[in-house]
Amino acid sequence: MQNQGFDSFRLSTGGLLYRLFKLLHIQKSDSFSVYRRIIFIVSITWLPLLVLTIIEGNFYNTNLDLPFSYDLQPYVKYLFVLPVLMASGVITDPLIRYVIESIGTSGILGESNKSKYYEAVKQLAHRKNSNFADLVIIIISASIAITGVVNLEKFDVSSQIRHWTVFHSESGVHLTLAGWWFIMVSAPALQIIFYRWFWRFYLWGKFLFQVSRIKLDLQPTHPDLAGGLGILKNSENAFIIIFFALGAMLSVSLSADILYTDQKLDQVIPIIIAYIIISISVLTIPLFFFSHQLAATKRWGNVLYGDLGYRLSRAFHEKWGNLEDETNGDELLKTADSSTVCDYADIYNATRGMRFIPISLRGLLLQAFALTVPFLPLVFTEHSPIEILKRILQSLI
């Protein structure tokens, strides 16, 4: 793959599902086709549940503990999470493509290693187009669905509350029509999209590992404080939307526990914190592949520019350090010597400040904030918006 091919690279495309969407004219080759895919996925996941629960009388059934109209999970999963996942390529693909282009053109590869890099990009493109991976994902999702039907007696909601997906009779627990659609179609569809994105995250991690095995020409004085690899933070930003969507699913699950069990908001906070820490850790793992080269570059830079700094300081002192010469100050103003020393100090500080992973504390905090957002609505499970507004107004008085 040559440089010219980078501008058409899209990580979200390829595979059996992508080809199926193209066959059904849901996906166009030259566009993201976001609206078509969102309409299609909502039409086969959420809309049938709505229609079937209305037909069966379970949309607003006061005899149920949780009729469809009160259950937040299908609304969040199929009207928010799935559309976000279907549209995430709009954000992910340009960021990933920019990283690939930047590494290929920035000069950190050196002429001798470009062929290795192009081969790694070519392998990434081949793997993401694999039909086999999508087929395995579909089989796994189907197996989970079948297992759920076989073990219906252990179905979580049936053992706790009367739910729109199941009904009880003398012969045991049975699925409603909406329940059948939920287990056999809606839930597997969501799983397939999620697993597919996690597969692509794995492929990206594997690609970065291959790149990290190439001897890179990193520069200790680069202003990104990562030897020229600061662009890799874009890849983390690209995939955080996947963990944001997963956090939304966890949030609605926790809200159900708070609303329909004895669980309290403060009891789920450790779960939320653990999720955020785990998500950031998973996102950051691929960046650690470059730690060895970054550490070696920093050590080399500290020695090189430390020695240069000493020689520069000595030369400056020998030229301008004569206190008996009263004209030194006036003469120094006419030269660029002092500016050179200050500029060198910036270069040396950049070397000293090099990071062992190409991400800053600010970047980590922004990630933590983004991952916290899906959990903010949990506040409303114990406090109404009006109550919160009253307390805000009272604090201003």
Cα gap 24→27, rounded to integer Å:
8
Cα gap 278→309, rounded to integer Å:
42
Residue 157's pLDDT band (cuts 50, 70, 90): very low
Amino acid identity, position 229: L
Q: Check whether 299 has a pLDDT greater than 60.
A: yes
**What is the tens place of the pLDDT at every residue in 92-114?**
999 999 999 999 888 898 878 88
Q: Check whether 77 has a pLDDT greater than 80.
A: yes
Domain residue spans of the chain: 3-290+371-396
Cα gap 174→152, rounded to integer Å:
8
Residue 306's pLDDT band (cuts 50, 70, 90): confident
Ramachandran sector of residue 155 (left: φ over 0; alpha: ψ -120 to 50; beta: rest): beta
- DSSP letter at 69 equals G
How are the residues of the chain apportioned to helix, strand and coil, as percentages rounded to the nearest 5? Answer: 75, 5, 25
Q: Lowest mean pLDDT: which of 51-55, 238-242, 330-334, 388-392?
A: 330-334
Mean pLDDT computed over every residue of the chain: 86
**What is the tens place of the pLDDT at every residue in 229-276?**
989 988 888 899 999 999 999 999 999 888 888 888 889 999 999 999
Q: Lowest mean pLDDT: which of 61-65, 180-184, 219-223, 291-295?
A: 61-65
The H or E element spanning position 172 is strand 172-175
- DSSP letter at 5 equals G
Cα gap 362→371, rounded to integer Å:
14
Cβ within 8 Å of residue 69, ≥6 positions away: 59, 60
Give the residue among 371, 17, 34, 396 at the shortest CA–CA distance from 191: 17
Q: Which two tokens stand for residue 242?
A: 């996947």
Q: Which two tokens stand for residue 381?
A: 């499970």
